[in-house]
């Protein structure tokens, strides 16, 4: 079983935040180690494309009938593997708030109209996306998470708790697209193309502010022209079949299927970007508090804010700390029972990596305690403080 491991180093080493002026690098997956990917891209939060990453995947080898066309979906094969599930599609010709309108259709209807589009078919309009195929049909192992992306606290926690995950499949005809956005919670994403090509526009963090209107709203759609006109720094990249795009935290992006395109992607976070998630969560809570400020005197105002935070942001403080404690407990156990294997997807985690995870948790919780972030949530504050002491002791004894 392959191991994900990093070099022994001080978790408090400064991280360079600069990015390459030359564009987004393309590196063959076999030419870079996990540790290099960690140091050069994941920790400094820089995008990269890793090529030839999917050649052993079942979906890469069977979902596309390459004898016909490089992006021809083998509809018969998919039907033989999958039941007629309800699947989520985005209607790329409508807009609801800052995303496309979502609806549910039957998989076989979607595939049939893909294969033989009729006059009023929605082929170039409906984009099958955010489809939890992996969790819907768990026995069907159609891909393996590349080891580069295996330090994934979000899905590790959700899967071990039997909760809804952030692992998706996307199937979109030429012309379907994903609106301008940064990823949920401020997570990373990775996206691997099984077939077809996608055009990505990427903006380094904060560049998107140049596009904000006077209410601080960002555009639904950008074009090269609108980006240039606003003096925005951006990268345009074409993702080819078999390539993985690593999308760093807080980088706004827009994606267009320039051909019929099929991809797998995950959202995730870990010790490298957990502080950004916490910052985003706090800022989303500030928005909620501001919105219902006139109810401030009501009983249970702070608990109510947490309910609203969960509804608007998809996660609240209790969820966030549940993830931290789950990950922390597992790393603590592995350190104690030295040599116990840590199964993460189908990888094990090395000792330096486990220590890195604990140090990043300790750094985060120290900030939470020292800056009194949980002043309105006393009980949570006490739990965090005592958990921090446990982690510190464990790190000190390494």
Ligand X SMILES: O=C(O)CCC(=O)C(=O)O
Q: Could you tell which of Fe ion, ligand X, none binds residue 255, using a CB distance below 5 to 8 A set by kind? A: ligand X
Residues 13-40 as b/e (b if ≥16 CB within 10 A, e otherwise) read: eeeeeebeeeebeebebeebebbebbbe
Site for ligand X contains 263 (CB under 6 A): yes
Among the listed ranges 69-77, 247-255, 307-315, 325-333, the one in contact with ligand X (CB under 6 A) is: 247-255
198 binds, among ligand X, Fe ion, none (CB under 5 to 8 A by kind): ligand X
Question: Quick one: 46 or 253, whose CB is closer to ligand X?
Answer: 253
Which lies closer to ligand X via its Cβ, residue 128 or residue 388? 128
Could you say which of 45, 151, 155, 178 contacts ligand X (CB under 6 A)? Answer: 178
> CB 394 → ligand X: shortest distance, Å?
34
Q: How far is the CB of 247 from ligand X (least distance, A)?
A: 5
Residue nearest to Fe ion (CB): 183
Contact 240, 194 (CB under 8 A): no
Which residues form the interface with Fe ion (CB under 5 A)?
A: 183
Nearest by Cα to 158 from 178, 195, 127, 185 = 185
Size of residue set near ligand X by CB under 6 A: 11
Q: Is 193 in the site for ligand X (CB under 6 A)?
A: no
Stretch that binds ligand X, among 76-84, 183-191, 295-303, 325-333 (CB under 6 A): 183-191
- With respect to ligand X, which residue has the nearer C-beta, 255 or 323? 255
Shortest approach of Fe ion to residue 261 CB, angstroms? 14
Taking CB under 6 A as the rule, does residue 189 contact ligand X?
Answer: yes
Candidates 45, 71, 145, 191: give the one binding ligand X (CB under 6 A): 191
Our CB check for ligand X shows the closer of 42 and 359 to be 42
- Which residue of 50, 87, 247, 364 would you call a contact of ligand X, by CB under 6 A? 247
Report in angstroms how near the CB of residue 141 gets to ligand X at its nearest.
21
The single residue among 255, 323, 349, 365 that binds ligand X, judged by CB under 6 A, is 255
According to the binding rule CB under 6 A, does residue 54 interact with ligand X? no
Closest approach, Cβ 201 to ligand X, in A, equals 11
CB of 188 to ligand X, least distance (A): 9
- What φ, ψ does residue 214 adopt, rounded to 5°? -70, -15
Return the number of the residue (123 or 198) whose C-beta is nearest ligand X. Answer: 198
Q: How far apart are CA 72 and CA 360, in angstroms?
A: 44
Interaction partner, residue 187 (ligand X, Fe ion, none; CB < 5-8 Å by kind):
none
Q: C-alpha distances in angstroms, 184 versus 1, 17, 88, 280, 348?
A: 31, 21, 17, 10, 27
Q: Is 48 in the site for ligand X (CB under 6 A)?
A: no
Residues 196-215, interacting with ligand X (CB under 6 A): 198
Query: Residue 265 interacts with ligand X (CB under 6 A)?
Result: yes
Among 131, 153, 170, 387, binds ligand X (CB under 6 A): 170
> Interface residues with ligand X (CB under 6 A)?
170, 178, 183, 189, 191, 198, 247, 253, 255, 263, 265
């Amino acid at each position: 079983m392959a191991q994900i491991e990093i070099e022994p180093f001080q978790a408090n080493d400064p991280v360079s935040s600069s990015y390459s002026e030359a564009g987004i690098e393309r590196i063959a997956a076999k030419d870079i180690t996990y540790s290099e990917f960690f140091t050069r891209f994941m920790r400094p939060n820089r995008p990269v494309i890793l090529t030839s990453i999917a050649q052993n995947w079942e979906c890469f080898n069977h979902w596309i009938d390459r004898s016909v066309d490089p992006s021809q979906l083998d509809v018969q094969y998919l039907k033989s593997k999958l039941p007629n599930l309800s699947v989520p599609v985005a209607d790329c010709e409508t807009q609801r708030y800052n995303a496309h309108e979502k609806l549910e259709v039957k998989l076989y209807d979607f595939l049939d109209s893909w294969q033989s589009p009729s006059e009023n078919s929605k082929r170039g309009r409906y984009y099958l996306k955010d489809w939890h195929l992996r969790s819907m049909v768990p026995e069907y192992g159609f891909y393996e998470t590349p080891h580069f992306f295996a330090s994934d606290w979000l899905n590790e926690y959700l899967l071990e708790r039997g909760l809804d995950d952030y692992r998706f499949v996307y199937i979109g005809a030429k012309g379907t697209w994903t609106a301008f956005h940064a990823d949920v919670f401020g997570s990373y994403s990775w996206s691997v193309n099984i077939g077809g090509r996608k055009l990505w526009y990427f903006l380094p963090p904060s560049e998107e502010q140049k596009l904000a209107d006077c209410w601080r709203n960002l555009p639904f759609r950008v074009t090269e022209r609108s980006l240039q006109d606003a003096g925005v720094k951006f990268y345009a990249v074409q993702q080819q079949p078999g390539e993985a795009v690593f999308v760093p935290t807080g980088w706004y992006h827009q994606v267009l299927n320039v051909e019929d395109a099929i991809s797998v992607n995950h959202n995730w976070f870990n010790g490298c970007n957990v502080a950004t998630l916490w910052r985003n969560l706090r800022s989303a809570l500030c928005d909620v508090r501001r919105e219902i400020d006139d109810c401030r005197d009501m009983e249970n105002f702070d608990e109510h804010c947490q309910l609203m935070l969960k509804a608007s942001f998809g996660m609240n403080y209790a969820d966030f700390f549940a993830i931290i404690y789950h990950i922390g407990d597992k790393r603590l156990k592995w350190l104690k029972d030295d040599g116990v294997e840590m199964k993460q997807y189908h990888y094990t985690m090395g000792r330096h990596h486990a220590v890195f995870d604990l140090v990043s948790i300790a750094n985060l919780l120290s900030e939470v305690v020292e800056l009194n972030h949980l002043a309105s949530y006393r009980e949570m504050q006490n739990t965090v403080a005592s958990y921090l002491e446990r982690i510190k002791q464990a790190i000190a004894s390494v």
